[in-house]
Amino acid sequence: MDDLLKDFLAETCESLDVLDSEIVELEQRPGDPALLGSIFRVMHTIKGTCGFLGLPRLESVAHAAEDVLGRVRDGELAVSHGVISQVLAALDRIKELVGLLGETGSEPAGDDTEIIAALRQIASGEPAPSHSEPEDITERKAEKSGTLFERAGGASGIDAACELACSGFLAKAGEGAMREPEMLKLQFALAKGFEVALEKTPGMDIADVVGCLIENGWTSDDVMLLESEIAAAFRSLSIEEDDIAGLVSLLHRKQPAAKADVKKETQEKEDTKKLQPARETPPAASERHEAQGQTQTLRVNINVLEDLMTLVSELVLTRNQLLQIMRSHDETPFAAPLQRLNQVTTELQESVMMTRMQPIGNAWGKLPRLVRDLSQELGKKIDLVMTGADTELDRQILESIRDPLTHMVRNSADHGIETAGERLAAGKSEHGTIELTARHEGGHIVVVVSDDGRGLPTARIREKVIANGLATEAQLEGMSEQQIQQFIFRPGFSTAAAVTSVSGRGVGMDVVRNNIEKIGGIIEFQSTEGAGSRFIIKIPLTLAIVSALIVECEGERFALPQNSVVELVRINREASKGLEKINGRPVYRLRDRLLPLVSLGEILGLPDKEKTSPEDNEGPESMYVVVSQVGAFVFGIIVDKVFDTEEIVVKPVSRCMRHISCFSGTTILGDGRVIMILDPNGLASAVSAAPHAEASALGGQHEGGARRNEAVSMLVFEARDGSPKAVPLSLVARLEETDLAVAEKAGSRTVLQYRGGLMPLIDLEGKPADRQGRHPILVFVDGQRMLGLVVDRVVDIVEAPLDLHLAGGSRPGILGSAIIAGQATDIIDTVHYLRQSDADWFEVETESPFGAERERQVLLVEDSAFFRNLLIPMLTIAGYSVTVAEHAEAAISLCEDGGKFDFIVSDIEMPGLSGFELVRKLRADERLADVPIVALSSHANTKDIERGMEAGFTDYVTKLDPKALLNALSRTSVNEIRKEIAA
């Protein structure tokens, strides 16, 4: 592909992107001559260049579109929806052609007559004047009396306009944009510039002035504002509208000049009627480029920038090395030049980083078009407001947020904004607004995508969360609205079939979150029903050079990205205050929270020098805990030493080590040493995986058998001694938080008026609760009965496989301890408390006429210690005599040995023989053919129940519903007795 074509492609692609949003803008501001002029010019340039390069398809489409735009500009055609749509369609075709041209190097064959015909029809649709060929501004100007300079009011008129424009600009650009003396200078420069441009007198013309402004840090917004102010100023001086367009167009150097040339060249070409070899014209073109050589931007290949960045990184490293060396020499002649080198390097680094910076608007460019198309498609009225488009960030990051942003805006338009009718009915304005803002905030960029649509009702999210099994109702009960809203980022949230009208809302939000988190960002969602919703994204400015904390573990150094480090804690090993072990897992009491710890050495498999295990305090006398945060998960990393923080250049890990999730990169330190950069995400997953690994290790005794994963939701809370306690969430009906001062005394009990009844309140020791302070209360409900257990703090709700590792021993009210979320946690025995409060809680159902005649024998087949411990006391209290079998095989041999049972209660999922197989085996034995066998399962759906019944179970209950089990047992008793009577 020749250079000329490449240049054309690069330039055209850029202008097409701009055109997209400008045309949409035009629809909103149809009367804006500057905007119209700019659109027209771009289209004209494309047409001209295509003709020049011999691209007939592109040329003809652009030409037709230009015709339409020309007529709009001349005021012969009103900007209507149809016009804009048709122009956009033409634009799409041009884009498609340009895309193919870029791929193949030649214009693809095809037919555009349809689109051209449509454009022509639009162009001629209105009462049309005789000529259809659009005229150039400069040409038209000649037809009028006098030069543009004269018509603009001469030097005095221009002066006045510039003065007006400058004061207008000063007023609108806001404080700090420019001080008055500077503004005065600008005013003169502008006036002079106009004169130079129009009268061709020597000096800086107006475009140069604008160029200077840009060089001096003016943003394109500022320039645009100035432009519109100038247009307004001329208008107020009653200059004709198209003269204004002409004057304003002078501000842009490139287009008018290029247009004139191209126009001339195309004419020349047409004149000769023969294809003039394009080779003859490049000199003219390059001359033109040279003439414009003072332009302020330069197109640079991205690879060059990337290489430059790499080189600068290396320079930074070498500089760090030199500085390190210098520190160990007090008097050295190198000190001064090194200092200078240091400074220059820092500046160079910053400048190179700047070249990678791009305004976030680049990622937004396609959004106006997207919103327009969507609003048309959906029949909604949507405005897109974008502020802070010039906020700059690293291009690598820009690329990563482009898709998530598009996705969120699409979601807002699609699901957030209501139709005009709905909006009016809700008392809102007909037009919905999607707002996109970006701003700097201390080394981060904060991007907010908000809409004023219907919002996402938390109730709907709840429904969906429950429907998709992401959490139970009881879990949600304890969550704040804000917490519940974050569920939309959960992977499972979107997978379900469209249940509600909201369902589509969450589509792919988990992907969005992943993308944002991948670049170290955070995303949050807020929504108010009826008022709208907003996504808040916080992303770092750059990824290439980060600040990192250097830590040491077992003699090896590692870098830990500073942005995930929350704080550092030094622990004296001897006192080891606050450091505790729960079943070998270290935890640390940091102020009011329990911090799960992970030893870096252990995760990385570094050999422990001398120490046999980390709890032996024979290592160095102190150690450090780096408190880190990944998303909402806070954990501590145990390291031996902490050094200072260093700016490090992140380099990718070699391919052969990329599978190690603990490392995110590698770098060279100031002393020239290579060190690995730890990935807090990887470490965090190591922390949360650790207890799991342990559980499966403990379960290893059932080798071969599929280890069942009965994850149970546990409510973790603190009471009495501050150590974590937990209770299966499904046993808790509600969570309340009440000031206990309102509780009353009734006899020896503390009671609370609650939901029209009296609820006894007890503390963890089973005693009536103290009537003071504000406390969370776990409410257990059974029909009309209620019991409130007063605790100090609800910590969390955790989904964890339940394995009791320690029996409760003699401690009343404690079933035992289990590892939950990496901490040893006491599981409380709810039955104990219920009995404390109401001795007859569990006896209700058994006080049946047939209940007490003899003690009924129950065989409980259950492999989980937790459920055994939960069920045995309950069944015992209810008057059953319980025999326990830990697995199906044991149960069979118990029965074969002649054990007589009135009921058998069996778990379904067990290692070895399953409950189904067990019941089939038992039913095969004629002695046991009639024994009621109740299935226990953690999940019961109709299919399971059917299957269970088929296998021979009498009844089927959910594990975590002890009452249901008791009911089932009484029910079967009744049936038994009826059968007996019938017999």
Question: 955's torsion region: left (phi>0), alpha (psi -120 to 50) or beta?
Answer: beta
Find where tokens 């060929």 sit: 133
Q: Which is nearer to other proteins, 626 or 965 (CB)?
A: 626
Stated as kind and residue range, the H or E segment containing 674 is strand 674-678
Residue 922 CB, nearest approach to other proteins (Å): 45
**Alpha-carbon span 252 to 260, nearest angstrom:** 13
Residue 565 CB, nearest approach to other proteins (Å): 20
Say if residues 437 and 389 touch (Cβ distance below 8 Å): no
DSSP 8-state class, residue 331: S
User: Nearest-CA neighbor of 136 among 271, 249, 20, 14?
Assistant: 249
Residue 661 CB, nearest approach to other proteins (Å): 9
Residues in region 291-320 near other proteins by CB under 8 A? 313-314, 317-318
**Alpha-carbon span 564 to 562, nearest angstrom:** 5
DSSP 8-state class, residue 660: -
Examine residue 605 and tell whether it contacts other proteins (CB under 8 A): yes
Residue 312 CB, nearest approach to other proteins (Å): 11
Q: Pick the stretch among 288-296, 660-668, 860-868, 897-905 that binds other proteins (CB under 8 A).
A: 660-668
**Alpha-carbon span 112 to 59, nearest angstrom:** 11
Examine residue 609 and tell whether it contacts other proteins (CB under 8 A): no
Q: Which of 275, 354, 656, 981 binds other proteins (CB under 8 A)?
A: 656
Q: Which is nearer to other proteins, 335 or 660 (CB)?
A: 660
Beta-strand pair 724-728/749-754: unpaired
Q: Which is nearer to other proteins, 319 or 887 (CB)?
A: 319
Q: Pick the stretch among 663-671, 692-700, 797-805, 934-942 that binds other proteins (CB under 8 A).
A: 663-671
Q: Which is nearer to other proteins, 336 or 656 (CB)?
A: 656
Examine residue 681 and tell whether it contacts other proteins (CB under 8 A): no
Residue 35 CB, nearest approach to other proteins (Å): 48
Q: Which is nearer to other proteins, 605 or 849 (CB)?
A: 605
Tokens of 281: 């014209």
Q: Which is nearer to other proteins, 666 or 973 (CB)?
A: 666
Q: Which is nearer to other proteins, 89 or 341 (CB)?
A: 341
Q: Which is nearer to other proteins, 313 or 375 (CB)?
A: 313
Phi, psi of 314 (to 5 degrees): -65, -40
What is the SS3 assignment for 532?
strand
Examine residue 655 and tell whether it contacts other proteins (CB under 8 A): yes
User: Nearest-CA neighbor of 796 among 726, 733, 736, 734?
Assistant: 726
- Beta partners for residue 753, in sequence order: 758
**Alpha-carbon span 188 to 181, nearest angstrom:** 11
Examine residue 604 and tell whether it contacts other proteins (CB under 8 A): yes
Q: Which is nearer to other proteins, 600 or 957 (CB)?
A: 600
Give 876: exposed, middle or buried? Use CB within 10 Å, 0-12, 13-18, 19+. Answer: middle
Residue 544 CB, nearest approach to other proteins (Å): 15
Q: What is the DSSP string of 870-910?
A: HHHHHHHHTTEEEEEESSHHHHHHHHHTT---SEEEEESS-
Say if residues 532 and 452 touch (Cβ distance below 8 Å): yes
Examine residue 666 and tell whether it contacts other proteins (CB under 8 A): yes
Q: Cα angle vertex 698, ends 692, 704, to 5°?
A: 100
Residue 339 CB, nearest approach to other proteins (Å): 22
**Adjacency order of strands within the sheet including 804-807:** 793-801, 711-718, 724-728, 823-828, 814-820, 804-807
Residues in region 315-374 near other proteins by CB under 8 A? 317-318
Examine residue 693 and tell whether it contacts other proteins (CB under 8 A): no
Q: Which is nearer to other proteins, 283 or 605 (CB)?
A: 605
Give 761: exposed, middle or buried? Use CB within 10 Å, 0-12, 13-18, 19+. Answer: buried
Q: Which of 654, 810, 941, 942 binds other proteins (CB under 8 A)?
A: 654
Q: Which is nearer to other proteins, 345 or 973 (CB)?
A: 345
Helix and strand tally (H, E) in the chain? 32, 35
Q: Which is nearer to other proteins, 313 or 914 (CB)?
A: 313
Find where tokens 């992140």 sit: 650
Q: Which is nearer to other proteins, 604 or 786 (CB)?
A: 604
What's the length of the chain?
983
Residues in region 499-558 near other proteins by CB under 8 A? 556
Q: Pick the stretch among 243-251, 505-513, 662-670, 816-824 that binds other proteins (CB under 8 A).
A: 662-670
- Beta partners for residue 673, in sequence order: none
Q: Catalogue the E-assigned strands of 719-841.
A: 724-728, 734-739, 744-746, 749-754, 757-762, 774-782, 785-790, 793-801, 804-807, 814-820, 823-828
**Alpha-carbon span 240 to 388, nearest angstrom:** 34
Say if residues 658 and 639 touch (Cβ distance below 8 Å): no
Q: Which is nearer to other proteins, 287 or 314 (CB)?
A: 314
Examine residue 606 and tell whether it contacts other proteins (CB under 8 A): yes
Q: Which is nearer to other proteins, 383 or 556 (CB)?
A: 556
Q: Which is nearer to other proteins, 59 or 679 (CB)?
A: 679
Examine residue 559 and tell whether it contacts other proteins (CB under 8 A): no
Residue 557 CB, nearest approach to other proteins (Å): 8
Say if residues 76 and 128 touch (Cβ distance below 8 Å): yes
Q: Pick the stretch among 252-260, 654-662, 832-840, 956-964 that binds other proteins (CB under 8 A).
A: 654-662
Q: Which is nearer to other proteins, 674 or 974 (CB)?
A: 674
Examine residue 4 and tell whether it contacts other proteins (CB under 8 A): no
Phi, psi of 662 (to 5 degrees): -75, -15
Residue 674 CB, nearest approach to other proteins (Å): 4
Residue 672 CB, nearest approach to other proteins (Å): 5
Number of residues that bind other proteins (CB under 8 A): 25
Q: Crossing angle, helix 81-104 and helix 56-73, to 10 degrees?
A: 150
Q: Pick the stretch among 488-496, 623-631, 665-673, 825-833 that binds other proteins (CB under 8 A).
A: 665-673
Q: Which of 385, 660, 711, 929 binds other proteins (CB under 8 A)?
A: 660
Residue 304 CB, nearest approach to other proteins (Å): 18
Q: Pick the stretch among 397-405, 521-529, 602-610, 957-965 that binds other proteins (CB under 8 A).
A: 602-610
Q: Which is nearer to other proteins, 591 or 659 (CB)?
A: 659
Amino acid at 91: L
Examine residue 662 and tell whether it contacts other proteins (CB under 8 A): yes
Q: Pick the stretch among 210-218, 600-608, 790-798, 801-809 that binds other proteins (CB under 8 A).
A: 600-608
Q: Which of 13, 184, 424, 674 binds other proteins (CB under 8 A)?
A: 674
User: Nearest-CA neighbor of 537 among 627, 409, 661?
Assistant: 409
Residues in region 200-229 near other proteins by CB under 8 A? none
Residue 698 CB, nearest approach to other proteins (Å): 24
Q: Which of 299, 327, 659, 943 binds other proteins (CB under 8 A)?
A: 659
Say if residues 601 and 550 touch (Cβ distance below 8 Å): no
C-alpha gyration radius of the chain? 38
Say if residues 434 and 446 touch (Cβ distance below 8 Å): no
Examine residue 687 and tell whether it contacts other proteins (CB under 8 A): no
Tokens of 704: 């071969």
Q: Which of 128, 184, 657, 949 binds other proteins (CB under 8 A)?
A: 657
Q: Which of 668, 802, 818, 964 binds other proteins (CB under 8 A)?
A: 668
The HSE-up count of residue 674 (CA atoms within 13 Å, CB side) is 6
Binding site for other proteins (CB under 8 A): 313-314, 317-318, 556, 604-606, 651, 654-657, 659-660, 662-663, 666-668, 672-676
